[in-house]
Amino acid sequence: MTKTAATHPILPDATIVDGRVRAVIDAVLPNVDGGRFAVKRVVGESMAVTAHCFTDGHDVLRVMLRWHMEEQAEVHEVPMKPLGNDVWIAEFTPLAVGRYLYSVTAWVDPFESWRHDMSRRVDDDDIRIASQVGAIEIAAAAARAPCADGETLARWAKALVTAAAEPATDAKTVKALALDNAMAELAERYPDRKHAAYSAPQLPLVADRARARFSSWYELFPRSASPEQWRHGTFKDVQARLPAIAAMGFNVLYFPPIHPIGRVQRKGKNNALLADPDDVGSPWAIGAAEGGHKSILPALGTAQEFRQLLERAADFGLEIALDIAFQCAPDHPYVKTHPSWFRWRPDRTVQYAENPPKKYQDIYPFNFESDDWRGLWAELKSVFDHWILEGVKIFRVDNPHTKAFPFWEWAIGEIKREHPDVLFLAEAFTRPKVMHRLAKLGFSQSYTYFTWRNSKQELTEYFTELSSGPRIDYFRPNIWPNTPDILHEQLQSGEPAMFMARLVLAATLAASYGIYGPAYELREHLPKSPGSEEYLNSEKYQLRNWNYDDPDSLAPFITRINQIRRDNPALHADHDLRFLPIDNDQILAYAKTSKDGNNVVVMVVNLDPHNVQSGTVQLDPESIGVDASHPFQMHDLLSNQRFLWKGQHHYIRLDPHSVPAHVFVVRRRMRDERDFDYYL
């Protein structure tokens, strides 16, 4: 890990350029694959860096954390402090979005080493001789210092030599002069760093805006936003829905693709192989005579209306996320203008998507092995550029794992270099290592297996994995209880308790979550067929009309949950999730704490939608900063009830027929000046 400042090899072994570099830097953490990929943080989030640093023998080391924005020359340095066991720590806080580089430098400090030894010297002669040695170091520091400081240090060096040489001055006095704190502080400002070691390579960090870490997504099909039954919805219809969606507390509004939809091989309702003439087709079958990935389906509105919608949404604190699906309907203009981007069969037809024996004749995948891959890459990137220019800053990328991985690293890197505030959500429901690779390549957030993690054990294992280990530095989960593709069996009976429980889990197990609505709040739950995870009459293939005024809508519950998320910083990050023991396999209990320790929330969720479940949860008061001998208040933010807890064991009872969960915030006991007790 260590290399030296100079870069010309002096010895046969090219890694050694100056043998006098004695400081060792053995591990700089965090890093993703040794710096091959960037660590992720958000603006304003402190970044603690540790390193193993030491040298031979007993000399004193000084260690600095170095960091800078990648495209700025100015390097900042923060002194690192020893934690013991040769581990050093410092932190810095990225204050602007963008790419940063950090590294560590360490050097054996002759002045500090001398001072440390001097402080332990007892022998008079030693003190006198060591003072002369120190005076040489001080004079060297003086030579490195600017005028005034240099003169002060030079005077000190001279005084020390004089005192040491004067038998009339007793050794104690000489030692005191040698150890002068103010002078030492001055000398430390001008250290001799010519033999400093530098960790290599510099490690990359991407600082995103806060929404990369904490976001609440709402997905809807604009074409179903019409209040009039079976009229094709428009951007204007969506505009009318904005107040309601914002009122529910979401901050990202995500649309499936809004582009012209292919007519050739168009699928009918419920994915029928043959479409009726009035069938609207799947938004993911992109491209037709009207245009492709940079065009808008005319039935939704104009580019002007889309821009207007973005602005109105912003007024409500809602950001619009677009779906980018890099695939083409057979009548996409690319097929004619860039035939080399597709794979052609010997019968002069384009190879449609297939996974034999399954065939998807309505979808033409791009051929990433095209000889014109440069042209293809440039065009695909320009799709993002187009929508960024229109004002879109968040993209949900459809099936990124079926496109060449190097493309994503290049495209996201290039786009974020120009627009560091753009965010990408990877919709890859695939094998773990593939999902992790996409996150490393630059995706800001990632879909997860949450939908298929249902039991207490599954949830505990999966979220322990997601919130710990090195992966937390690059993989940000975004949790969805449903999507237009996934109606999990658990939801298919439609019990409100199950919809509520899964919502609480999604919204509190991770800092980012989303729902596909209005299907979720209106508890859409019929599958296309028994055993299928597809929705019956799915919006993917037809218009739907939703009854927003349904008195059983979960909208009020969702509103409450999102309010709780906003109010509690503990729910804004993924780093501190702890599962709490509870003696009932149908109850999941867990706690999250904000980084500053001031906000502690405790969730207790009944996973059984049918039966009352009860049990005794263990919560160590000390672990949440509460004195074990004092009571503390648990304020259930869902029911607004307050409970006084004391000690470790607490009885819980959850009835799925009312609310299947508690979301407690811990209120610590405070004592005010007049000696009244109250809870914060």
Active site residues: 398, 427
Our CB check for its own copies shows the closer of 9 and 581 to be 9
Our CB check for its own copies shows the closer of 399 and 614 to be 399
Which among 331, 419, 321, 328 is positioned nearest to 379, based on CA atoms? 328
Cα–Cα–Cα angle for 472, 478, 480, rounded to 5 degrees: 145
CA distance 355 to 591: 43
Q: Are 338 and 379 in contact (CB under 8 A)?
A: yes
Our CB check for its own copies shows the closer of 144 and 436 to be 436
Ordered alpha helix ranges (H), 510-583: 555-567
Cα–Cα–Cα angle for 101, 92, 42, rounded to 5 degrees: 75
Upstream peptide bond of 581 is cis (omega within 30 degrees of 0) = no
Query: How many C-beta atoms lie closer than 10 Å to residue 531's C-beta?
Result: 8
β-pairing, 661-667 vs 632-636, is: antiparallel
Q: How far is the CB of 348 from its own copies (least distance, A)?
A: 11
Q: How far is the CB of 426 from its own copies (least distance, A)?
A: 13
Our CB check for its own copies shows the closer of 130 and 571 to be 130
Our CB check for its own copies shows the closer of 418 and 549 to be 418
Our CB check for its own copies shows the closer of 373 and 679 to be 373
- DSSP-derived letter for residue 660 is S
Q: How far is the CB of 402 from its own copies (least distance, A)?
A: 5
DSSP string, 420-478: TT-EEEEE--S-HHHHHHHHHHT-SEEE-SGGG--SHHHHHHHHHHHTSSGGGGT--EE
Cα–Cα separations (whole angstroms), residue 414 to 405, 417, 508: 14, 5, 33
What tokens were used for 584?
């009932």
Our CB check for its own copies shows the closer of 358 and 671 to be 358
CA distance 314 to 309: 8
CA distance 315 to 306: 14
CA distance 351 to 362: 11
Sole residue written with tokens 């979808």: 363
Our CB check for its own copies shows the closer of 161 and 654 to be 161
Q: How far is the CB of 326 from its own copies (least distance, A)?
A: 11
Measured in degrees and rounded to the nearest 5, phi and psi for residue 362 equal -85, 0
Query: How many C-beta atoms lie closer than 10 Å to residue 240's C-beta?
Result: 14
Q: How far is the CB of 157 from its own copies (least distance, A)?
A: 13
Q: Are 38 and 99 in contact (CB under 8 A)?
A: yes
Q: How far is the CB of 462 from its own copies (least distance, A)?
A: 15
CA distance 42 to 395: 18
Q: How far is the CB of 13 from its own copies (least distance, A)?
A: 5
CA distance 639 to 305: 41
Q: How far is the CB of 230 from its own copies (least distance, A)?
A: 37
Our CB check for its own copies shows the closer of 354 and 489 to be 354
Q: How far is the CB of 159 from its own copies (least distance, A)?
A: 16
CA distance 534 to 127: 84
What tokens were used for 509?
């197990």
Query: CB within 8 A of 355, min separation 6: which ones?
Result: none
